[in-house]
Copies of this chain bind each other. A is one copy, B any other.
Amino acid sequence: MGLVTCDVGISVDGFVAGRNQTLDEPLGVGGEHLHRWMFEEPEQHAAELAAITEAGAFIMGRNMFGPIRGEWDEPWSGWWGDEPPYHAPVFVLTNHARDPLEMDGGTTFFFVTEGIEAAMEQARAAAGESSVSVAGGASTINQYLAAGYIDELRLHIAPIVLGAGERLFEGNAGLDLEPVSSRSTSLVTHVTYRVGVTETG
């Protein structure tokens, strides 16, 4: 069975999205600056970018999949156009059942209504020996961290202060982390943590 990983962009003050997330600003006020490194320095971060998409299956919360709440009354197919960057099954946590949605390039969105454990089981079955990536947002990551599923947490710390928004680590006081590696460019600091291995003092 592969690792369960989580890559997430975060501000220095601990937010993975700004306040007021909308259709036009899906990451909230200022949140788009979290990902400048991806778009402005892709060559310098080729290894980190490859690691993000190497998982055999992904899990995300409904709010990361799209801005629609309640029943699926619109033909929303995600933020990523006809060919999303996942190229693998993506399990979307939702309270509202929906048929699987097959996209170009190998991405299929499956809608899971039975909760985070069921989604993890399905993602692991789909991934086989490959890793499963918990893709976001904050609430989904925080739930999987608290439930002990995540083996490796890869923070991509943008040098910005958002001041408000969606906070990583809520509900995870006392979480057991060990830094494995870190490196910086002018737009980001990558820090990889192993989760839940050592005893905290």
Contact = CB atoms under 8 A, between A and B. Distances in A.
Contact of A167 (B13, B169, B184): B13
A185 B177 CA distance: 12
Copies of this chain present:
2
Interface string A119-139: 000000000000000000000
A162 interface: yes
Nearest to A10: B12
Q: Is the interface of A mostly helix, strand, loop or mixed?
A: loop
Interface in A142-201: 155, 157, 159-164, 167-170, 172-175, 177-189, 191, 193, 198, 200-201
A93 to B, nearest CB: 22
B13 A201 contact: no
A36 interface: yes
B180 A174 contact: no
A10 B136 CA distance: 24
Contacts of A201: 33, 36
25 contacts: A12-B155, A12-B177, A12-B193, A13-B14, A13-B167, A13-B168, A13-B172, A14-B14, A30-B173, A36-B201, A159-B177, A159-B178, A160-B174, A160-B200, A161-B174, A161-B175, A162-B173, A163-B170, A179-B185, A179-B187, A179-B189, A181-B184, A182-B189, A184-B191, A189-B191
Given A157-B179, A182-B183, 14 more contacts: A12-B193, A13-B169, A30-B173, A30-B174, A159-B177, A159-B179, A160-B175, A161-B172, A161-B175, A161-B177, A163-B172, A179-B188, A184-B191, A186-B198
